[in-house]
A and B are shown apart, each in its own frame.
Chain A
Amino acid sequence: MLDALKPKKSTIILYLFIPVAMFVFTVFVPLVTAFYFSFFEWKSGQTIYTAFYTGIDNYKTLISDSIFWKSFGNNIYLVVACIIGQIGLAFVLVMFANSKLTIGKAVHRTFGFFPSTISAVCIGLIWSIIFHSKYGLLNWFVVNVLGGAKQAWLGDSAHVMLYVSIPLIWQFIGYYMVILFSAIAGIDQQIFESAEIDGANGFQTAVHITMPMIMPTLLVCLTLCIAGNMKAFDSIWTMTAGGPGYSSYVMALYGYTVSFSQSNMGYGSAISVGIFVLSLAVIGGSRKLIGLLTRGLGE
């Protein structure tokens, strides 16, 4: 009977082939073609058929391209800000929400998660309105409550990266809260009760019990956070288009501008490969670093 219900091996392979083919087509093929075209000069007026091979010229340009490295620095800024803002704040909020004194835990979870379901372009537009220098909510607060002067927030080159980080942090706090909620739910409640009997306060419980016990989940969060922010694009594009000047350029935005606004597909492909390599290096490096740090803590 069971044999009759069990599908044939070839059927299983055929079904499995669909997601594999989709993955290959949407991830592997673009990556390989981007790598291939990164060795070509393919500018406005040239087609895929008339682009010509230039060896590693695009990579030489990339290495000495100050805008690319400034964009990479901005990505790192975003990563650090979002690790602190998204995962750090999410952890703190989860600790509060998990307290016995908190009422309506499900409401916190639902409303906290809600912003992460909104499209990044909408988030960018919402926050552009909040930051708007004449009609924005933030300036209304600064003028009417704090008695300060109106600011052109997104025109401040020195701090614009902080301002474009805020919407990203706001959007994904709830996302990490949900992950951390589920991780904490897996910890045996008797451990918390024992700690409470031993006189541990909330902070001590969070740092010495909760954090070490959900460390694998925190590492996953960290990887997701780094990967997400190394490819940040849409909300920044909507809010500042990378401006003023190159102040809020991130790597994906620079690659997009070079490829499509400047019609330089060859160099744009080299930038894409650069983003891929640097993202892998940052994710790999951070995992190694965390591994070393946690090993130290264990001892």
Chain B
Amino acid sequence: MKKLVSLLAALSLLLTAVSAFAATPVAPTELAYKGEITLMHFSTSEESEGNGGSDGFRTTIANWQAAHPDITLTQDVLANAEYKQIIATRASAGDLPDVFLLQGMNTISWANGGLVMDLTDIIKASPYYADYNTAYFTPFTYEGKVYGYPVLTGGTCTVVIYDKAMWKEAGFDTFPTTWADVEKAADYFSGKGIDTIAFGNGGKWQMNSDFISTLGNRYTGPEWFSSLIAKSGAAFTDEAFVKALKETKRLFTETKIFNQDFNVVTNEDAREYFISGDAAAMIGGNWDEAYIWQVLKDTNEEKFNNIGFAVLPQPADATEAPNSQNIGLGYAIAFNPAVANDADKLAACIDLAQELTGPAFSSYVAENYALGGLTAAGDVDFSKFDPITVAFYNWSYVDTTTCEIYDSYISSAVWDVFNTDVQSMLNGELTPEQVAENAQAAYVANY
């Protein structure tokens, strides 16, 4: 009997192990390097709970470390907000770690300063290059040179998450495609003491990343932003962009659509308004979707099954891409140029970057979270996922068109001024024209 129990226990352990490692393992590359590699990133253990990209990143690091026990991988792991400031400070001090995550908006200035290694030829030589989604390299490319392997999962920054049952009650079978219809719905919801759409701009960046980046594209089209990035003529003061700012101001200050405190609370508050039923919808990023999915799945099955996804409604005077949403990979794995002084170390860093962005990572996030990264993972088996996860996958990667995430490009010095001024504009202290002029001045001075 004891033998039978032991056998069953061993079998169950084996099955668990097999299912846990169903994803592609890291490549067993022979590496000559035996020393230390310093790695700085922001996939903390807390972040990885429910966040597929972080979980996949941490899991792949652990598997790579296990496959290369002779290499000491010294990790400095910080929460995202702290990471951004510490890595920028270390860059200013000329003290970057061997491997780190480069934010798209820093690519040009750090490349000009010689702080990041040119990886163009190395990336082209990658065994996984044929499966890379090369569009993801754009924020990390400058003057034809590529400075990083885009990393983590491609997630939207602007999604409308709504409660289908609440909107059906208001007379809408699907989420409205125009702001005019949303305003009609706002009359209904405000009569019931419910916010139509919850939004949180207390951190100042949300209005840029989660709203204007997509709404602006509806007015300007993608060429305007490409020109702004390339410094080839476009300006913040261009009429189309100012119109987008005017529409943003109108929607937030002259209609009853958004929560009164949108300029004070953060996206964390906004999603709680949605979860609690104080708001019929919210606008946020994929990180908000992951949180709402997790909370409602565990606490409110009925509301969970009523989750719907939509793109921003189209403004009446906008003429571009009505089905667009801004999606991309905001960070890339980059190397300190000093790594190249030791060929063996460089080879080890390349192998690490390739695995963290290659099939080992992408198959893990595809199979466990229905998410995609830099490398195509093949067809995703949807049969084991819940309908909300499948719906979000289709919404993110299949059913919508894409546009750029503004603050993946240009410069933090520009966006900091712009974000703060937009908050002032929405409090009635600046006009859209003044916001555009100030942003243009910061752009000229810092980019």
A and B: interacting chains: yes
| Contact bitstring A128-172, B, C-beta under 8 A = 1, else 0 | 000011100000000000000010111101000000000000000
Which of A243, A260, A263 has most B Cβ within 10 Å?
Answer: A263
Q: Which residues of A contact B265 (CB under 8 A)?
A: 132-134
The docked-state distance in angstroms from the alpha carbon of A47 to that of B109 is: 11
Any B CB within 8 A of the CB of A294: no
**Is B263 a contact of A243 with CB atoms below 8 Å?**
yes
**Closest B residue by C-beta to A67:** B420
Number of A-B residue pairs at CB separation under 8 A = 115
Q: Which residues of A contact B424 (CB under 8 A)?
A: 157, 244-247
Within 8 A of A (CB), among B44-101: 85, 88-89, 91-94
**Is B427 a contact of A244 with CB atoms below 8 Å?**
yes
| Contact bitstring B409-447, A, C-beta under 8 A = 1, else 0 | 001110011001101101101100000000000000010
Any A CB within 8 A of the CB of B371: no
The one of B111, B115, B278, B413 in contact with A47, judged by C-beta atoms closer than 8 angstroms, is B115
The docked-state distance in angstroms from the alpha carbon of A240 to that of B261 is: 12
Binds B, one of A38-46, A177-185, A193-201, A225-233: A38-46
**Is B261 a contact of A134 with CB atoms below 8 Å?**
yes
The one of A44, A49, A245, A261 in contact with B421, judged by C-beta atoms closer than 8 angstroms, is A245
| Contact bitstring B259-276, A, C-beta under 8 A = 1, else 0 | 111011100010001000
**Is A262 a contact of B92 with CB atoms below 8 Å?**
no
Q: Which residues of A contact B420 (CB under 8 A)?
A: 242-243, 245-246
Which bucket holds chain B's interface residue count? 35 or more
Any A CB within 8 A of the CB of B221: no
**Is A47 a contact of B94 with CB atoms below 8 Å?**
yes
B16 to chain A, nearest CB (A): 41
**Is B427 a contact of A155 with CB atoms below 8 Å?**
yes
Q: Which residues of B contact A71 (CB under 8 A)?
A: none
Any A CB within 8 A of the CB of B106: yes
The docked-state distance in angstroms from the alpha carbon of A260 to that of B423 is: 20
The docked-state distance in angstroms from the alpha carbon of A16 to that of B196 is: 66
The docked-state distance in angstroms from the alpha carbon of A243 to that of B265 is: 11
Any B CB within 8 A of the CB of A257: yes
Q: Which residues of A contact B203 (CB under 8 A)?
A: 241
Any A CB within 8 A of the CB of B112: yes
Q: Which residues of A contact B273 (CB under 8 A)?
A: 134
**Is A43 a contact of B413 with CB atoms below 8 Å?**
yes
Any A CB within 8 A of the CB of B110: yes
| Contact bitstring A29-67, B, C-beta under 8 A = 1, else 0 | 000000000000011111111100000000000000000
The docked-state distance in angstroms from the alpha carbon of A47 to that of B411 is: 16
The one of B92, B106, B417, B423 in contact with A42, judged by C-beta atoms closer than 8 angstroms, is B92
**Closest B residue by C-beta to A139:** B261
**Is A263 a contact of B423 with CB atoms below 8 Å?**
no
**Is B416 a contact of A48 with CB atoms below 8 Å?**
no
**Is A48 a contact of B202 with CB atoms below 8 Å?**
no
Any B CB within 8 A of the CB of A265: yes
The docked-state distance in angstroms from the alpha carbon of A133 to that of B411 is: 33
Known interface pairs A155-B261, A157-B427, A245-B430. Does A47 touch B412 (Cβ–Cβ under 8 Å)?
no
Q: Which residues of A contact B93 (CB under 8 A)?
A: 47-48
Q: Which residues of B contact A74 (CB under 8 A)?
A: none
B345 to chain A, nearest CB (A): 21
**Is A154 a contact of B85 with CB atoms below 8 Å?**
no
The docked-state distance in angstroms from the alpha carbon of A296 to that of B417 is: 48
B220 to chain A, nearest CB (A): 24
Any A CB within 8 A of the CB of B204: yes
The docked-state distance in angstroms from the alpha carbon of A262 to that of B424 is: 18
Known interface pairs A134-B273, A157-B427. Does A44 touch B261 (Cβ–Cβ under 8 Å)?
no
The docked-state distance in angstroms from the alpha carbon of A46 to that of B94 is: 8
**Is B429 a contact of A263 with CB atoms below 8 Å?**
no
The one of A48, A243, A261 in contact with B85, judged by C-beta atoms closer than 8 angstroms, is A261
**Is A244 a contact of B423 with CB atoms below 8 Å?**
yes
The docked-state distance in angstroms from the alpha carbon of A204 to that of B267 is: 54
The docked-state distance in angstroms from the alpha carbon of A262 to that of B407 is: 13
The one of B92, B110, B423 in contact with A245, judged by C-beta atoms closer than 8 angstroms, is B423
Q: Which residues of B contact A244 (CB under 8 A)?
A: 263-264, 423-424, 426-427, 429
Any B CB within 8 A of the CB of A75: no
A4 to chain B, nearest CB (A): 51
Any B CB within 8 A of the CB of A279: no
**Is A243 a contact of B423 with CB atoms below 8 Å?**
yes
Any A CB within 8 A of the CB of B113: yes
The docked-state distance in angstroms from the alpha carbon of A265 to that of B421 is: 22
The one of A43, A242, A247 in contact with B109, judged by C-beta atoms closer than 8 angstroms, is A43
Any B CB within 8 A of the CB of A264: yes
B317 to chain A, nearest CB (A): 26
**Is A154 a contact of B264 with CB atoms below 8 Å?**
yes
Q: Which residues of A contact B264 (CB under 8 A)?
A: 133, 152-155, 240, 243-244
The docked-state distance in angstroms from the alpha carbon of A45 to that of B110 is: 4
Q: Which residues of A contact B115 (CB under 8 A)?
A: 45, 47
**Closest A residue by C-beta to B264:** A155
Closest 3 CB pairs of A and B: A245-B424, A45-B109, A45-B113
B residues with a Cβ closer than 8 A to A are 85, 88-89, 91-94, 106, 108-113, 115, 202-204, 259-261, 263-265, 269, 273, 278, 411-413, 416-417, 420-421, 423-424, 426-427, 429-430, 446
Instruction: Name 23 A/B residue pairs within 8 A (Cβ), A-sorted.
Output: A43-B109, A44-B92, A44-B110, A44-B412, A48-B93, A50-B94, A132-B269, A134-B261, A157-B427, A241-B202, A241-B203, A243-B264, A243-B423, A244-B263, A244-B423, A245-B429, A247-B429, A260-B85, A260-B89, A261-B85, A261-B416, A262-B446, A263-B91
A residues with a Cβ closer than 8 A to B are 42-50, 132-134, 150, 152-155, 157, 240-247, 257, 260-265
New contact pairs (19) apart from A152-B264, A243-B202, A260-B88, CB-CB < 8 Å: A43-B109, A44-B88, A44-B91, A45-B110, A47-B94, A50-B113, A133-B260, A134-B259, A134-B273, A243-B264, A246-B424, A260-B85, A260-B89, A261-B412, A262-B417, A263-B91, A263-B92, A263-B413, A264-B413
